Amino acid sequence: MLCQAAGFTPPVPHIGELWPGDTELVRQNQANFGKLWHRTRAHFEAQWKVHQDQRGCELYLQPKGSGLVSQVYISPIAQGGSLLRVRVTVGESALEEARRRLDQVAGALPVTPEVTAGQRRDGSWFVDLLAPLRLILGDVADVTEHETRLLEQVVPAVDALVADA
């Protein structure tokens, strides 16, 4: 596709624009996308404190106990709504182990994400998984299928962080 070759990925047609969030239509699209997290949220609620952002389309997970990570942030608005980001915040001493676990599970996900690690300006360490939202959701417009595809993309990665390794 010409626009993708030029570095632009158009929005998923049946989802609509997710960014920037400064119009009523985009805010509606974000709120509607947030409804697709229902099954994913339900899965995580046993081990994580789960909340959505004010947009409704992003999830924040904090472990209920101590563990490898301090927070997981899941967002469909990375790079203007073209990528699904799973950002895992860890302490510096846990960075290598978190990266190892996420590298290990990445190839088994429905859409293999790019795995990167680094340090934010505030000094916190992170590991990111980035995958094209278009590939995750595909061409189907079925809400139940979207919920399933998001669940299958996100849950194994986050579960790998709490599993005994």
pLDDT digits (tens, 9 = 90+) for 80-136: 889 999 999 999 999 999 999 999 999 999 999 999 999 999 999 999 999 999 999
Instruction: Report the percentage of the chain scoring pLDDT > 70.
Output: 90
What are the residues whose beta carbons fall under 8 Å from the beta carbon of 137, sequence distance 6 or more? Answer: 12, 15, 146, 149, 150
Q: What's the longest Cα–Cα distance across the chain? A: 48
Token duo for residue 69: 């990570």
pLDDT, mean of residues 26-44: 94
User: Tokens 């301090």 correspond to what residue?
Assistant: 70
Average model confidence (pLDDT) for the chain?
A: 90
Q: Which domain holds residue 48?
A: 2-162
Q: How far apart are CA 30 and CA 12, in angstroms?
A: 13
115, 105 in Cβ contact below 8 A? no
User: Tokens 């409804």 correspond to what residue?
Assistant: 35
Instruction: Return the pLDDT at 19.
Output: 85
Instruction: Return the pLDDT at 61.
Output: 98
Instruction: Return the pLDDT at 66.
Output: 87
pLDDT, mean of residues 62-78: 95
Instruction: Return the pLDDT at 55.
Output: 85
The pLDDT-based confidence of 141 (bands split at 50, 70, 90) is confident
Nearest to 73 by CA among 43, 101, 51: 51
Nearest to 134 by CA among 5, 9, 2, 6: 9
Instruction: Return the pLDDT at 156.
Output: 98
Instruction: Return the pLDDT at 97.
Output: 97
How many helices (H) and strands (E) the chain has is answered by 6, 6
Q: Higher pLDDT residue, 14 or 82?
A: 82
Instruction: Return the pLDDT at 148.
Output: 97
66 by DSSP, 3-state: which? coil
Which amino acid, one-letter code, is at 68? L
70, 62 in Cβ contact below 8 A? yes
Domain CATH number, residue 45: 3.30.1460
Instruction: Report the percentage of the chain scoring pLDDT > 90.
Output: 76
Number of domains making up the chain: 1
The pLDDT-based confidence of 74 (bands split at 50, 70, 90) is very high
